[in-house]
Copies of this chain bind each other. A is one copy, B any other.
C-alpha cells in the first residue's frame, strides 16, 4: 500500500493537486551517467537498445532502482517515428543522428507517410506493457515523443544542427510545404502518443528540444498551431480513455522568453529549462498549469551543500503552489557522478516534505 502513495504522487502533482512532497525525476535519467547503463550499451547499438523491449525495460528501471526517482521514463528516442514515415535514421557514434534522405522539397514532404504507430513502433508499446508489469505500481511510467518543430529540424537538416539554416529557410520560404510537413508530423506524433496511452503510459512528455532556436513570432505563426494540434488531440484521447485523464508535460527547451505562447500551445505541465528563475515562472505561468523543473544539470557537479542550497531556492520559489514536479532544466550530463544524482533526489524529497508537510520517502 505504501507503493500506491508514491505511484500516485507525480500524477497528482501533474494535475495540480496538493501533494505531501514534491516528486522528482531527471530528464535522460535512463542514460550514460549510470555505469549500469553503459554496461548494457557496450553490448548493443543505440538503435538495437531502442528496438528491443527487454533492453528498454532493463535500462528504464535502472534509475528507479539506483537513484530513487519518482517516475520511470521509457528509454527510447524521439526519432523512432521516422522510419515509419519513410525517413531512414542512423546513429553514428559521436555524430548524433543522421537522416539519409532528408526533406528538402515539397515533393520530399509528399512522399512521407503517417505511420500506424502500433505497426511501425510496436516495440515501444510492448516495452510499455512489460514496464507496467515490472514496475508493479512503484512509480508512474512516462511515455514521450518529439514535438513537430524539433522533428522537422532533424528531417530537414538531416541531423543535428546549430544554426537551423535549412530548416528555417524551408519554414520561411515554403509555407505550404512546411504546413504539409508539420501536419504530417503532428498526426504521426498524436497517434504515437495515443498508442502509448493504450499501451500503459500514465504520463506523457512532449519534447520540443530545439524550439528555443525560433523567434517568438515565427513560433506563433509556424510552430504553435502544430504543437497545439498534438496536445489537444492527445488530451482529448487521454480524457476519454483514462479516468482523470493522462497528464501531458510540455517541455519547450530554451523557450523561457516566450512562455505566453508555450502555454497557449497547451499541456498540463509546463517543463522549464534552468534559464528562468522559478520565481518568475510562478508569476508567468497560469495556475491551471503544473510546473516542471528547473535546476541547472551542471549543479550536480557542485558539492552536496551547494546542491542543497540550489534545491532549496527552487522549492522556496514555488512555495506551496500546488503542482510542482522537480526536474533538471535539461538532460543529465553523462559525466555526472551517480552519487550526486542520488543526493539531489534525496534532497528534493527531504526538503519538499518539510515545506509541504509530508514524509520524505
Known: A165-B333, A168-B301, A169-B298. A274 touches B215 (CB 8 A): yes
Q: How far is the CB of A33 from chain B (nearest CB, A)?
A: 12
Chain B CB count within 10 A is highest, among A215, A276, A329, for A215
Determine if A215 and B302 form an interchain contact, defined as CB atoms under 8 angstroms apart: no
Known: A164-B298, A256-B257, A257-B257. A277 touches B216 (CB 8 A): yes
Chain B CB count within 10 A is highest, among A168, A217, A257, A280, for A257
Chain B residues positioned under 8 Å from A280 (CB to CB): 216, 257
A20 CB-CB contact with B under 8 Å: no
Q: How far is it, in angstroms, between the C-alpha of A296 and the C-alpha of B255 when the chains are bound?
A: 15
Chain B residues positioned under 8 Å from A164 (CB to CB): 298
Known: A172-B306, A256-B257, A335-B165. A216 touches B276 (CB 8 A): yes
Chain A residues numbered 250-294 whose CB sits less than 8 Å from any CB in chain B: 254-258, 274-277, 280
Determine if B165 and A275 form an interchain contact, defined as CB atoms under 8 angstroms apart: no
Determine if A217 and B257 form an interchain contact, defined as CB atoms under 8 angstroms apart: no
A84 CB-CB contact with B under 8 Å: no
Q: How far is it, in angstroms, between the C-alpha of A288 and the C-alpha of B263 when the chains are bound?
A: 31
Determine if B217 and A298 form an interchain contact, defined as CB atoms under 8 angstroms apart: no
A313 CB-CB contact with B under 8 Å: yes
Q: How far is the CB of A143 from chain B (nearest CB, A)?
A: 27
A173 CB-CB contact with B under 8 Å: yes
Determine if A275 and B172 form an interchain contact, defined as CB atoms under 8 angstroms apart: no
Known: A173-B306, A257-B275, A277-B258. A298 touches B212 (CB 8 A): no
Determine if B296 and A218 form an interchain contact, defined as CB atoms under 8 angstroms apart: yes
Chain B residues positioned under 8 Å from A169 (CB to CB): 298, 301-302
A163 CB-CB contact with B under 8 Å: yes
Chain B residues positioned under 8 Å from A299 (CB to CB): 168, 172, 215
Q: How far is it, in angstroms, between the C-alpha of A354 and the C-alpha of B165 when the chains are bound?
A: 31
A93 CB-CB contact with B under 8 Å: no
A303 CB-CB contact with B under 8 Å: yes
Q: How far is the CB of A309 from chain B (nearest CB, A)?
A: 9
Chain B residues positioned under 8 Å from A295 (CB to CB): 215
Q: How far is it, in angstroms, between the C-alpha of A258 and the C-alpha of B258 when the chains are bound?
A: 13
Q: How far is the CB of A76 from chain B (nearest CB, A)?
A: 23
**Cβ 8 A contact of A298, one of B168, B302, B310, B333:** B168
Chain A residues numbered 107-164 whose CB sits less than 8 Å from any CB in chain B: 163-164
Determine if B168 and A275 form an interchain contact, defined as CB atoms under 8 angstroms apart: no
Known: A257-B257, A276-B257. A301 touches B215 (CB 8 A): no
Q: How far is it, in angstroms, between the C-alpha of A327 and the C-alpha of B274 when the chains are bound?
A: 27
Q: How far is it, in angstroms, between the C-alpha of A285 and the C-alpha of B138 when the chains are bound?
A: 48
Q: How far is it, in angstroms, between the C-alpha of A173 and the C-alpha of B305 when the chains are bound?
A: 10
**Cβ 8 A contact of A217, one of B255, B256, B277:** B277
24 contacts between A and B (CB under 8 A): A163-B297, A164-B298, A165-B333, A165-B335, A168-B299, A168-B301, A168-B302, A172-B299, A172-B301, A172-B303, A172-B306, A173-B302, A173-B303, A173-B306, A215-B275, A215-B277, A215-B295, A215-B329, A217-B277, A217-B313, A218-B296, A255-B275, A257-B280, A258-B277
Q: Which residues of A contact B (CB under 8 A)?
A: 163-165, 168-169, 172-173, 212, 214-218, 254-258, 274-277, 280, 295-299, 301-303, 306, 310, 313, 329, 333, 335
